[in-house]
Amino acid sequence: MNNKGFDKVRLLLVAVLILGALLNIVWMKNLPNPGEIVAEDTPDDAVVLVGTAQGRNGPVEVEVTATADRIYGIRVLDHQESDGIGTEAARLLPGKIYESQSLLVDSIAGATISSDAIKEAIANALSSGGFDPNVFMVEVAAAEPVEKTPVELDCDVVVVGAGGAGLTASVLATQQGMDVILLEKMPFVGGNSLRAEGGMNAAGTKLEAELGLDDSTVENFTEDTLRLGHYLADPDLVRTLAEKSSDAIEWLKTVNAQFTGVKATGGCEGRKYLHQPEGGVAVGEYLVDKLKTQTEKLGIDVRVNTKATEILMDNGQAVGVIAEDAEHVYTIHAKSVVITTGGFGANFELMASYDPSLANAVTTNHSGATGDGIMLARAVGADTVDMEQIQLHPTVIQSDGTLVSESFRSLGAIVVNTEGKRFVNDLAGRDVVSQAELKQPDGYCFIIFDQNLVDHLALSQKFIDRGFTIQGNTYEELAKNMGLTGDAVQNFVNTMNTWNESVANGIDEEFGRNNGMDDDLSVAPFYAIKIAPGIHHTMGGIKINTNAEVIDTDGNVIPGLFAAGETTGGIHGGNRVGGNAVCDFVVFGRIAGQSATDFAAAEALPNAA
C-alpha cells in the first residue's frame, strides 16, 4: 500500500474513533446518574420535595418527585457515606424503591444504615409536601423463583471474594498476564477491608529509613507479631509477612497508593510500623479505591452479587468453582483457584460454637463476613487452624458496631473509665486493653482526645459529624458532659493533667505506655467517645503455607488451591496486632496471586499433567 493508501486508512480510523466517542457521549447522557431514577411519564401535578436523614457518616439528602400516591423520581443529592458501601446504597436503592413503589424494599446488603437513611430521607421529603409516607409502606411481594440459566466460563485464575486480598491477588495475577474472574457475593467490592481505618504495618521500608526509624526492622516486626499473638502463630508465616511487607508497600505504588507517615501501633514497645496515607484518611477505603480502580483499568471480570457455592475438584486438584447470581448458575473452569472471602466475624452461630459468650456481642464486621470460603475449603479437605482465636477490639461504639480506629491512640488519645481514671496502658495489645475494659464499672469507658488530634487525623471528623463525640472547652466541662459526677469529675481533671505531664517527661509512670506520646492532650476543645469492646477479627481460618497454598488435613498441599487474607489462619495467633490485617491482605494477596499465576502457567504448558 502506498502513502496515500495509508493516509486514507488513518483518516478512516480517526473518523471511526470520533464517531465512537460522540456515540459514547450521547449514550452516557442518556444514562441515569448513580443514585437517580426519573420516570418519563411524570405528570404536571407531581411535586419536587427534598428530605434529609442521618446516615452512617452524616446527613443524607434526597430529592423526591411524587404525587400523593406515586413516586416518579428519586435523586440522592448529597451524602457522606463510605465509598464502596454507602455509595452502593445510594446507587442501587432508588431504583428498587421506584420499581416497587415501596419504602419496605430490602436494604442493600452490607449497607443497612445507609439504606435506612435513604428510606427515611424519602419519607421525610414526602411528609414535607403534606403527603403520607405510609402510603408507600407496603409489603413487597417475594420474587417468583427463577429457573437459573447454566453458564460455562473459562479463565486462568478464579478468585473468590473481592476484599483487599482478593483485589490484590486479582490485580497481581492480571499484571502477570493471567485472565482472571473475580467473584463477590455482596453488591460491592471491599469487604471488611473497607472498614480498616488505622494503617498498614510494614518493616524495613524506605519511608521508615527516611524518618530515622532504625528499630522498625523485620526482626523486631516478626518478634512483636509473635509476642503479641502469644506465640500461637506459625513463625514461618509471620516471618514471611514481615520480610515481604516492604515490597508490598513498594508494589502498592504501582496502583497509585502512597503512604506518607508512620505511627505507633498497640503493644509494639515504642516501635513504629503503621504506615498511613496522607492526611490520616482511613486506609481501607483508600486502598480498596486504588485497587478497584486498577481492576477497572486492567479490565478484570469482576462479578458482584455472585456467590461461590462449591470448589470444583479433579483428581484432588482444584479446577474451578460453581457460583450463582440471581439468574445464572456458573460453572467456572480455571487452572487455579484463590479463596479470599474474609473471616467469620458476623457469623454469630459459628463464633458462639467456639465461645458462647460471643453469641450476642457487637461486631465491627460487615454482614457478609460469614466464613463462606472456610466452609468451601473444608468441603474439599482443607485443614483449618486457630478457629477459636477471636479478637475483641477495645474501642467500639456499641450502638452500631462502629470502630474507633487505633490511630486515635497512636496519635495520643487515652482511655478512661466512668470514675474518670486511666486503668491500663492504652496502647497495649488489643486483648489486654479489651479485657481491662470489661472489668471496669458500668461496662463502658471513654476514649479521650483533643483538637490537635482532630486537626491531624482526617477520619476523626466523621465521628464529630455523626454526633458520636461529647465535647467540652475544659476538662471539667467535658467530664460533666460525659455524665461524670462527684469525685469522678476531679479525678478526670487530675488524669488529664497527669497524662500531659507524662507526655512532657516522656515517661508514663502509671501504666508504662511508651507509644503514641508525641503530643499531649492540651488543645481545646476536648472530645470523648463512649466505647466498649466488640468483635473485630477472627484469627483462625484455612491453613496455608508461605506460598499461600492450602494445606489439607493430612498436611499435604491441595494442588491448584490458594488462599489469603482473613479467611486464613496461622498468621496472627491469639491476638492480631493493629495494622497487620492490611499488611496481611497485601502481602499474602500478592503471594496468592503469584502462586496461582505460576500454577496456572504450568498447567497451560503442553506437557502439563
What does the alpha-carbon distance between residue 172 and residue 333 come to, in Å, rounded to a whole number?
Answer: 20
Tell me, what's the pLDDT at 12?
42
Do the Cβ atoms of 544 and 566 come closer than 8 Å? Answer: no
Mean per-residue pLDDT for 54-81? Answer: 91
pLDDT tens for 212-238 read 999 999 999 999 999 999 999 999 999
Mean per-residue pLDDT for 102-127? Answer: 91
Tell me, what's the pLDDT at 23?
34
What does the alpha-carbon distance between residue 163 and residue 535 come to, in Å, rounded to a whole number?
Answer: 19
Tell me, what's the pLDDT at 357?
87
Strands (DSSP E) found in 401-441: 402-403, 414-416
For residue 287, the tally of other CB atoms under 10 A from its CB is 25
Residue found under cell 460453572: 331
pLDDT confidence band for 17 (50 / 70 / 90): very low
What one-letter code names the amino acid at 184? E
The DSSP-derived string for 534-573 is EEEEE--EEEB-TT-EEEBTTS-EEEEEEE-GGGEESSST
Tell me, what's the pLDDT at 55?
87
What does the alpha-carbon distance between residue 318 and residue 562 come to, in Å, rounded to a whole number?
Answer: 9
Give the chain's length: 609
Question: To the nearest 10°, the Cα dihedral for 584, 586, 591, 594?
Answer: 160
Residue 30: is its pLDDT beyond 90?
Answer: no
Tell me, what's the pLDDT at 140?
86
Burial class of 498 by CB neighbour count within 10 A (0 to 12, 13 to 18, 19+): middle
pLDDT confidence band for 543 (50 / 70 / 90): very high
Tell me, what's the pLDDT at 312?
98
Beta bridge partners of 262: 275
Mean per-residue pLDDT for 307-331? Answer: 97
Per cent of the chain over pLDDT 90 is 80
Tell me, what's the pLDDT at 1?
44
What one-letter code names the amino acid at 185? K
Of the candidate ranges 109-118, 319-328, 348-357, 588-597, the one whose mean pLDDT is the lowest: 109-118
Contacts of 255 (CB under 8 A, 6+ apart): 171, 290, 291, 293, 294
What does the alpha-carbon distance between residue 239 and residue 570 come to, in Å, rounded to a whole number?
Answer: 12
pLDDT tens for 31-59 read 335 568 877 789 999 999 999 998 887 89
Beta bridge partners of 537: 391
Residue 4: is its pLDDT beyond 80?
Answer: no
If you ran DSSP here, which 8-state letter would residue 607 be given?
T
What does the alpha-carbon distance between residue 114 and residue 282 come to, in Å, rounded to a whole number?
Answer: 18
Mean per-residue pLDDT for 491-504? Answer: 98
Backbone angles phi, psi at 189, to 5 degrees: -90, 165
Query: Rounded to a whole number, what is the distance in angstroms from the first to the last CA of the chain?
Result: 47
Distances (CA, A) of 383 to 310, 313, 386: 16, 16, 11
Of the candidate ranges 49-53, 107-111, 427-431, the one whose mean pLDDT is the lowest: 107-111
Tell me, what's the pLDDT at 7?
46
Q: Are strands 261-264 and 180-183 parallel, antiparallel or unpaired?
A: unpaired
What does the alpha-carbon distance between residue 307 and residue 319 come to, in Å, rounded to a whole number?
Answer: 17
Do the Cβ atoms of 347 and 334 come closer than 8 Å? Answer: no
pLDDT confidence band for 418 (50 / 70 / 90): very high
Catalytic residues: 430
What one-letter code names the amino acid at 506? G
Q: Report pTM.
A: 0.82
Mean per-residue pLDDT for 353-373? Answer: 92
Mean per-residue pLDDT for 254-282? Answer: 90
Q: How many CA atoms lie within 13 A of 356 on its CB side?
A: 0
Contacts of 582 (CB under 8 A, 6+ apart): 164, 193, 196, 199, 200, 201, 283, 284, 287
What does the alpha-carbon distance between residue 228 and residue 604 come to, in Å, rounded to a whole number?
Answer: 43
Tell me, what's the pLDDT at 349?
94
pLDDT confidence band for 272 (50 / 70 / 90): very high
Burial class of 3 by CB neighbour count within 10 A (0 to 12, 13 to 18, 19+): exposed
Per cent of the chain over pLDDT 70 is 94
Mean per-residue pLDDT for 159-167? Answer: 98
Tell me, what's the pLDDT at 213?
96
pLDDT, the chain, mean: 91
Tell me, what's the pLDDT at 18?
36
Residue 331: is its pLDDT beyond 50?
Answer: yes
Residue 2: is its pLDDT beyond 60?
Answer: no
SS3 at position 286: helix
What does the alpha-carbon distance between residue 284 and residue 192 come to, in Å, rounded to a whole number?
Answer: 8
If you ran DSSP here, which 8-state letter would residue 143 be given?
P
Longest dimension (CA), the chain: 96
What does the alpha-carbon distance between residue 522 and residue 510 come to, in Å, rounded to a whole number?
Answer: 19
Residue 473: is its pLDDT beyond 60?
Answer: yes
Mean per-residue pLDDT for 428-432? Answer: 92
pLDDT tens for 508-524 read 999 999 989 999 999 99
Residue 504: is its pLDDT beyond 90?
Answer: yes
Tell me, what's the pLDDT at 607?
61
Tell me, what's the pLDDT at 493?
98
Tell me, what's the pLDDT at 164?
98
Beta bridge partners of 60: 53
Of the candidate ranges 21-30, 36-45, 490-499, 564-573, the one whose mean pLDDT is the lowest: 21-30
Please choose, from the candidates 219, 213, 193, 166, the residue with its C-alpha nearest in 3D space to the C-alpha of residue 579.
193
Domains and CATH numbers, the chain: 36-136 (3.90.1010.20), 149-389+539-604 (3.50.50.60), 397-531 (3.90.700.10)
Residue 426: is its pLDDT beyond 60?
Answer: yes
Helix and strand totals (H; E) in the chain:
17, 24
Contacts of 362 (CB under 8 A, 6+ apart): 396, 398, 401, 532, 534, 535
pLDDT confidence band for 13 (50 / 70 / 90): very low
Of the candidate ranges 36-40, 107-111, 299-303, the one whose mean pLDDT is the lowest: 36-40
Residue 454: is its pLDDT beyond 50?
Answer: yes
What does the alpha-carbon distance between residue 192 and residue 586 come to, in Å, rounded to a whole number?
Answer: 14
Tell me, what's the pLDDT at 110?
81
What does the alpha-carbon distance between residue 219 and residue 242 come to, in Å, rounded to a whole number?
Answer: 8
